[in-house]
Amino acid sequence: SLTLGIVGLPNVGKSTLFNALTNSEVEAANYPFATIEPNIGVVNLPDPRLNRLAEIFGSERILPATVSFVDIAGIVKGASEGEGMGNQFLSNIREADAICQVVRVFADEDVVHVAGKVDPLADIETVATELILADLQTIEKALPRLEKEARKNKELVETLEAVKAAEAVLTDGKTLFAAGFDTAPIRELHLMTAKPFLYVFNADEGVLTDAARRAELAAAVAPADSVFLDAKIESELLELDPEDQAEMLESIGQDEPGLDSLARAGFHTLGLQTYLTAGPKESRAWTIRQGDTAPKAAGVIHTDFEKGFIKAEVVSFADLDANGSMAAAKSAGKVRMEGKDYVMNDGDVVEFRFNV
């Protein structure tokens, strides 16, 4: 499954957030690995549609989709030159599908800041610079080989040009993601700044309730997604019953737990979407990539479903919700039979027909 790698400077609240992630209760049945590795934190993707489906179908249980975060320790200034745990850090980050940087916004005299003061945009730049430098090293190493190969193989000329264009963007101090660079032609280089970024601003009440400040920070990192939360409070929230949770959230101006916002943003950053299945046993969300076709979606349930795919019976959640039952949705003509070229929409409620 796809993962977001959690990075950030020391003392910004990574461990605090990661502990909250690992303590959040995820039903193991919907998690593809038998045991959850210690450096992986999994959160449920909140989805109120599942509650409605469970009501319509009388489902015994609800299984939401999940989002996985990997704790990647130790970025410091100089990581690209092997400072600190530099090399280990870089190889861990290469394995992640997206980068989730925790950024300190909270002020606390008792918590030392590595750079001497709380400056979120400077911290973001520090991390970006290390990743940019590491990517430039990768490109420098690859260029002589590519140039040689491109002389013999005309097809590689385009790749070579794209790599040089990427080099120019990076030299200019931009990540490939922030620059909106088309990274498809240079995928083989596995550049880190080509991965999508997500920023978690670890803030206190003052900033959480300050819409203008939040908008300013979010705009500074766009097109990356931003999430604003208080990591310390997120851990405390998990200990509370729903009523006290709501009260605590309200006191810091939040309308949902930060982990919920983080799950949603992480899912979006990874380019994922869900489709839904429902029956008396369970109402369940399944994770697919945006743009996946029906057979591909069926394959997430079981590989045999993809191989033996015949058709998908599809109704949009909105239509099912409005009609109140599958039978009513059918008589209203809202249930479609879709074939193997059908591209799934988020929130499709599906039943697959297949040969075994």
Give residues in contact with ligand GDP (CB under 6 A).
Answer: 8, 10-16, 106, 108, 111, 202, 204, 230-232
Length in residues, the chain = 356
Place of tokens 């700044």: 193
Q: For residues 16 and 209, which CB has a smaller minimum distance to ligand GDP in the complex?
A: 16
The H or E element spanning position 86 is helix 86-95
Q: For residues 111 and 322, which CB has a smaller minimum distance to ligand GDP in the complex?
A: 111
Q: For residues 108 and 182, which CB has a smaller minimum distance to ligand GDP in the complex?
A: 108
Q: Which of 296, 309, 272, 300 is nearest to 98 (CA)?
A: 272
The H or E element spanning position 124 is helix 120-152
Q: For residues 8 and 64, which CB has a smaller minimum distance to ligand GDP in the complex?
A: 8
CB of 8 to ligand GDP, least distance (A): 6
CB of 111 to ligand GDP, least distance (A): 4
CB of 234 to ligand GDP, least distance (A): 8
Gap between the Cα atoms of 143 and 237, Å rounded: 50
How would you label 287-323 residue by residue, b for 16+ Cβ within 10 Å and e otherwise?
A: bbeeebbbbbbbbbbeeebbeebebbebbbbebbbeb
Beta bridge mates, 276? 285, 349
Whether 7 contacts 102, CB under 8 Å: yes
**Which residue is nearest to ligand GDP, using beta carbons?**
13
Q: For residues 15 and 23, which CB has a smaller minimum distance to ligand GDP in the complex?
A: 15
Whether 192 contacts 9, CB under 8 Å: no
Q: For residues 8 and 295, which CB has a smaller minimum distance to ligand GDP in the complex?
A: 8
CB of 290 to ligand GDP, least distance (A): 31
* Sign, Cα dihedral of 179, 184, 185, 187: positive
CB of 230 to ligand GDP, least distance (A): 4
CB of 69 to ligand GDP, least distance (A): 13
Q: For residues 18 and 317, which CB has a smaller minimum distance to ligand GDP in the complex?
A: 18
DSSP assignment, residue 313?
E
